[in-house]
Every structure is written in C-alpha cells, then in structure tokens.
Amino acid sequence: MAGIVIGLASRENEEEFRNRVRDFFLSQEEYSPESLQQIDLWAEELQVKPIRKRVVDEVLALPEVIKARRSRARNVNESARPRSNEEVERGNTARRSNNPSEAKVKRWKDVAERGDADAQYILGYAYDSGEDVEEDKAEAVRWYRKAAEQGHAKAQFFLGCAYYLGKGVEEDEAEAVRWFRKAAEQRHADAQCNLGQAYDYGAGVDEDKAEAVRWFRKAAEQGHADAQNNLGYAYQHGEGVEQEKAEAVRWFRKAAEQGDAKAQYNLGCAYCFGKGVEEDKDEEAVRWFRKAAEQGHANAQYYLGGAYDFGVGVDEDKAEAVRWLRKAAEQGHAEAQKRLQELGLTIVSKPE
C-alpha cells in the first residue's frame, strides 16, 4: 500500500507542477533567469525534478500557451513592416547603450555557463536576433550547440537552421538535417516540417517523397500550417502518397484558416477548377484568392485581377482588375504583365 500511496502522491505532485508552470507561462511577460529559478524551486518543492524538463516542454506545446506567448511577441514588435537601415542602426545603438539589457544578458550568461540548457538556448537566440546584445551569428551557434547537445529541441532546430543557411557556421545541409532530425524526434513541429522539406527536395538526404509526407504529417497533425499546406500539395499531386484531391483540400483548408497565404491560394484554385470539391464555386474561389492576395501572394493577385477582369465570382470591374494585376505584375508575374499590356498598360517590376 505504501508504494501505491507514493505513486499517487507523485502523480498529484506532477499535476500540481504542471498547473503551476502552465499558469506561469500564460501570465509571464518574459522568460528570464528568474523564471527558470522559480520553476526549479517548484520542481524541488514538489519533488518532481526528474520530470521537470518533460513537463515544461509539454506545457510549452499546449495550444493556449503557444497562443498567449505569440500574442505577447506580436505586441512587443512595433509592427510587421521592414525597418530602414537608419531604424535598425538606431535600435542597435539603443540596445548597446541600454545598461539594463546588458545586465539581463549577463544574468543569462551566468546561468548558461552553469550548464542550464534553457538559458543557453535563450542566449543563443539573443545573439542570433541581436536582441539585447549585438548580433553575432557565430556566438549564437556556440550557445545553440551547447543547449542542443543537452537535447534542447528548440536549440537543435535553430542549430539546424544555422547549418542550412550557413549563418555563423559553414553551410552544411547534411549537418542541418542531422539536427533537424534530433529536434523532430522530440515533436518539434518546425523541425519536422523542415525535415520533410529536406526529403522532399533531396537537401542533405536522398530525395524520398514518402518520407517527406511522413514528417509533414507529424507536423501537420500538430497544427503546423506550412506542413499542412505541404501535405495538401502531396495529396493533390500524388507525391509520396496516393493522389486524393479531397484530402488535399482538407489539409489546404486547415492551413488556410490559419492565414497561410500559399494554402489560401491553393484552396482558391481547388474551388476555381473544381478539384477536390463537389463543384467549382467561383465566389468561394475569389474569397480565398482575396485573402492570399492581400498578403502579397502574386499568383493570387493575378487570379483575383482576372476575376474582376472577366466578372467571374464578382461583378466585372476593370479598375479593380488593373489594381490587382498591377500588384502581381510589380512582383514580376509574367502573365499579369502580359494582360496589362493587352489592356494598353505597361508595368515595371519593382526592384528587389
């Protein structure tokens, strides 16, 4: 009986620890050395230190926690627009002269040098992004590696990205895949999607469409929009899986409803051409083309322009047609440029 009581107490303590960590991340404004220390104190108090990392990782993967942290991250960013070189330099200068930020980095470094994987990852991200410290890709890689070698999934993912892009380390697709795989095997959705893409294109591994689908599916089932769109594409074209256009539409819709422009365009095409849906629905096609077009998707802008040009799914409106065709043409869309010329207009692509 004593053993059973101890087991029940352990489960109760694990649940209490999980609830505290969940509430903490839902309300915490900043992931700091102090926050790590608080979590460690709870783990010690509740005698759950052996399962601390697993529980924290599971809590961080909860949809409500992801949503709360993303919402706070969006609020921190002043806007999504690109910053001018002058704004970037002013920001860097301000960060370099901000003593509180320097003190914060020093606290992180003190914790990281004691071997804390979370702190090592956060320090790596700081150097990677230039947040609170001068950007240094090589130093970012150094700290990512320390955390990654301790099994930190996010650090493994970012280390894979560094190798894939050649940022802070010599470009090495095979090494990128090795780190993506380590993170993917810990259910890191971004890493699973990247690993799927590596197999899809034969980057760092032999091309294997079926293996690509396997990893896309793992990420897609966790709600990863890019993976959902990729899985939809695989079903649409029968790559690595039996062609099934209705299943393609199902995955396109999941990603499109999350705001993924590529999926919105693909879903628009499905409705436009009647692929994987009961019948073609021009109004529905236009609705999804518009959503993608408003995010700057050139093909969607072209199709939306065409809809207005010929009155398909919307009332014919040449001025609106030209507006959307122009947007696509400015991105170098050849068909949009051709149609504008037919309408007696010319357009020059905007320089990149």
Instruction: Show pLDDT as tens, one digit a residue, over the chain (352 residues).
Output: 333 333 333 677 787 888 888 888 787 655 566 677 778 788 877 887 777 777 887 777 776 777 676 665 555 443 333 444 454 454 554 444 444 678 888 999 999 999 999 999 999 999 999 988 999 999 999 999 999 999 999 999 999 999 999 999 999 999 999 999 999 999 999 999 999 999 999 999 999 999 999 999 999 999 999 999 999 999 999 999 999 999 999 999 999 999 999 999 999 999 999 999 977 699 999 999 999 999 999 999 999 999 999 999 999 999 999 999 999 999 999 999 999 999 999 776 665 5
Contact indicator for 81, 4 with CB cutoff of 8 Å: no
Six-digit token pair at 101?
């930020």
Q: Which residues contact 309 (CB under 8 A, 6 or more apart)?
A: 316, 318, 321, 325, 339
Domain contains 181 = yes
Of the candidates 329, 296, 229, 316, the one whose C-alpha atom is nearest the C-alpha of residue 269 is 229
Instruction: Give the Cα separation of 278 and 116 in Å (integer).
Output: 55
Tell me, yes or no, whether 329 lies in a domain.
yes
Global pTM reads: 0.73
Are residue 43 and residue 118 in the same domain, yes or no? no
- In a shared domain, residues 107 and 59: no
- Domain membership of residue 21 (yes or no) is yes
50 and 104 housed in the same domain: no
Indicate whether 231 belongs to any domain.
Answer: no
Question: Domain range spanning residue 321?
Answer: 267-275+282-352
Does 126 lie in the same domain as 55?
A: no
In this structure, are 63 and 104 located in the same domain?
no
Q: How far apart are CA 222 and CA 263, in angstroms?
A: 17
Tell me which of 21, 44, 68 is where a domain ends. 68
pLDDT at residue number 33: 63
Same domain, 54 and 131: no
Structural domain contains residue 323:
yes
CB 191 within 8 A of CB 161: no
Question: Which is it for the CA torsion 26, 32, 35, 40, positive or negative?
Answer: positive
Rounded distance between C-alpha atoms, residue 181 and residue 176, angstroms:
9
Last residue of a domain, one of 186, 218, 242: 186
| Last-in-domain residue among 139, 168, 186 | 186
pLDDT in tens, 247-257: 999 999 999 99
pLDDT tens-place string over residues 287-312: 999 999 999 999 999 999 999 999 99
Dihedral sign for Cα 183, 185, 189, 191, please. positive
Write the burial class of residue 54 (CB in 10 Å: 0-12 exposed, 13-18 middle, 19+ buried).
Answer: exposed
Q: Determine how many CB atoms are found less than 10 A away from the CB of residue 80.
A: 6
Tokens found for residue 58: 């599971």
The answer to whether 132 and 104 have CB atoms below 8 angstroms apart is yes
Q: What is the pLDDT of residue 351?
A: 55
Claim to verify: residue 104 and residue 167 sit in the same structural domain: yes
Q: Which candidate, 47, 66, 54, 59, places its Cα nearest to that of 20?
A: 59
With CA atoms as reference, report the closest residue to 109 among 126, 134, 92: 126
What's the domain count of the chain? Answer: 3
DSSP symbols for 193-251: HHHHHHHHHTSSS---HHHHHHHHHHHHTTT-HHHHHHHHHHHHHTSSS---HHHHHHH
- Regarding whether 121 and 173 lie in a shared domain, the answer is yes
Each residue's pLDDT tens digit, 108-136 = 999 999 999 999 999 999 999 998 899 99
Output the pLDDT for position 88.
Answer: 47
Q: Is residue 257 part of a domain?
A: no
Two tokens, residue 119? 């702190």
- 127 shares a domain with 58: no
Considering the domain boundaries, does residue 9 fall inside one? yes
The domain spanning residue 174 has which CATH number? 1.25.40.10
Q: Is residue 351 part of a domain?
A: yes
Q: 10 Å Cβ neighbour count for 121? A: 25
Do 287 and 351 lie in one domain? The reply is yes
Q: What one-letter code names the amino acid at 93?
A: T
